[in-house]
Amino acid sequence: MRVLVGWDNPSEAETIELFLNVGDTEAKVLTSPKEFRDAAANEIWDIVLMALNFPSIEESYPLFEQIRHLQREVPILGACFQGEVVHLAKFVAHGLHNFITRDANGEFVFLLNSVIEGAREAVMAQRARQLAERLREEIESVRRLQESVIPQELPVLNGYEIAARYEPAQIRVLGSQPVVLAGGDYYDVFSLDSNTLILLVGDAAGHGIKACMSIMSMRTLIGMIRDRKYKDTASFVGEVNRGLSSKAIVQDEGGFITLLYCALDTTRNQIEFTSAGHPMPLLQDLTTNEIRTLGTDEDSGLPLGISEDETYHVVTAEFPPNSRLLLYSDGLAEAFPLECKDYGQFGEQGIFASLRSSAHMPVQEAMEKLFADSSAFTGGSGRHDDTSLVLVQRTNNR
């Protein structure tokens, strides 16, 4: 720590220099106003200490103003005698960080190290808070950018009802307000042609800016190629994988993206989908309340961005009348109570239980119940991963 001192009493200045130059503290104690100003103008300091009657009580405030201008980010401490309250008030009102009271015997010198260290710690804490606030604002900007690409309106199709929602990770710390994190989930629902509805859910590894930028890269790529004619969903996912395998933002530090890409033929009521390391979709028969997982682990390929030559698979299934199809990201299943990890995760068991208990509800309410049940399972600590759901219900009997 480097300390610049401007002092009026040469005898005390020598004592102060001896006391301050210990450990990692380097102090320069000056009794010349010009040398004091020059040192403030030409060198970098962590703390400035000055007697508030240096070089005289009349000239001390103009000198303080000059030093404050030269060392804008550095705390300035003052030293004054008892009875100089009116004089001191002017300095405090214009940016003096703290002060110490001088005594005639010079015993205040013994307190200087602790006062200076306290001032330094206070400034560092303030700067840390300012940095944390700037980072919070940056994360909030990224989060808003991410949410801006989530579809605000879903297609309306005869014979089908759709509900979808994205919710960022939300962590509650020591009973305070929830902290909402930026992340890397993404879903989309769009019509490819008059008979084909595309449903997809993607999830970039991790949280924060990198995860968000990774998922934005995938969204941009999908937007560029989504109208091309691919023979099946595996061909499309393979093309997305090849495009992302060359993106440094995705691959940096072992990053990757999982994707479930599903094409629903609304004429034949048939589902064709491909998974790139993503949880498989669930199909619920609302008549019997039976729920089954479509596809197996062997049907899932590697997440996107790992291997450019990865081969993906197509899974085909019927979409029966009076049934629901659920696509979701792993944030739903991986919810757990922060203080009681032994309780395990919400998991597939929790998803199945929620779907069964909401079979009689409209599709929108059933989707909201999945979020509510998963959140309730955490005991108020919040889900620690982003969560995206797309829930589709077939209502026709053709």
pLDDT tens track for 266-302: 999 999 999 999 999 999 999 999 999 999 989 999 9
Task: Using pLDDT thresholds of 50, 70 and 90, give the confidence band for residue 127.
Answer: confident
* Burial (CB count within 10 angstroms: exposed 0-12, middle 13-18, buried 19+), residue 256: buried
Rounded distance, CA 134 to CA 279, Å? 36
pLDDT tens track for 336-350: 776 655 568 888 899
Give the mean pLDDT of the chain. Answer: 87
Find out whether 87 and 59 touch, Cβ atoms under 8 Å.
no
Rounded distance, CA 195 to CA 264, Å? 8
pLDDT tens track for 6-55: 999 999 999 999 999 988 899 999 999 999 999 999 999 999 999 999 99
Query: Which pLDDT does position 340 carry in this prediction?
Result: 58
Find out whether 394 and 269 touch, Cβ atoms under 8 Å.
yes
Query: Which pLDDT does position 175 carry in this prediction?
Result: 46
When pLDDT is averaged across residues 325-346 and rounded to a whole number, the result is: 80
Task: Using pLDDT thresholds of 50, 70 and 90, give the confidence band for residue 131.
Answer: confident
Cut 0.75: pTM above it: no
Per-residue DSSP letter, 3: E
Query: Which pLDDT does position 164 carry in this prediction?
Result: 94
Task: Using pLDDT thresholds of 50, 70 and 90, give the confidence band for residue 136.
Answer: confident
When pLDDT is averaged across residues 125-148 and rounded to a whole number, the result is: 74
Q: Does 252 score more than 50 pLDDT?
A: yes
Give the chain's length. 398
* The two three-digit tokens of residue 96, written as one number: 């003096």
pLDDT tens track for 368-395: 999 999 988 887 666 677 889 999 999 8
Rounded distance, CA 182 to CA 200, Å? 20
* The two three-digit tokens of residue 58, written as one number: 């009349």
Rounded distance, CA 99 to CA 75, Å? 11
Say how many C-beta atoms besides its own lie within 10 A of residue 159's C-beta: 14
Tokens 């040398």 — which residue?
Answer: 35
Q: Which domains does the chain have, with CATH numbers?
A: 2-128 (3.40.50.2300), 149-394 (3.60.40.10)
Find out whether 260 and 234 touch, Cβ atoms under 8 Å.
no
Residues in CB range of 310: below 8 A, 6 or more apart: 238, 241, 276, 301, 302
Find out whether 30 and 36 touch, Cβ atoms under 8 Å.
yes
Q: Does 68 score more than 90 pLDDT?
A: yes
Q: Which residue has the higher pLDDT, 193 or 321?
A: 321
Find out whether 269 and 249 touch, Cβ atoms under 8 Å.
no
pLDDT tens track for 149-181: 777 788 888 889 999 998 877 655 444 455 555
Alpha-carbon distances, residue 33 vs 6, 8, 94 (angstroms): 7, 9, 20
Query: Which pLDDT does position 381 carry in this prediction?
Result: 66
Query: Which pLDDT does position 183 carry in this prediction?
Result: 65
Tell me the CB-side half-sphere exposure of residue 95, using CA atoms within 13 A: 14
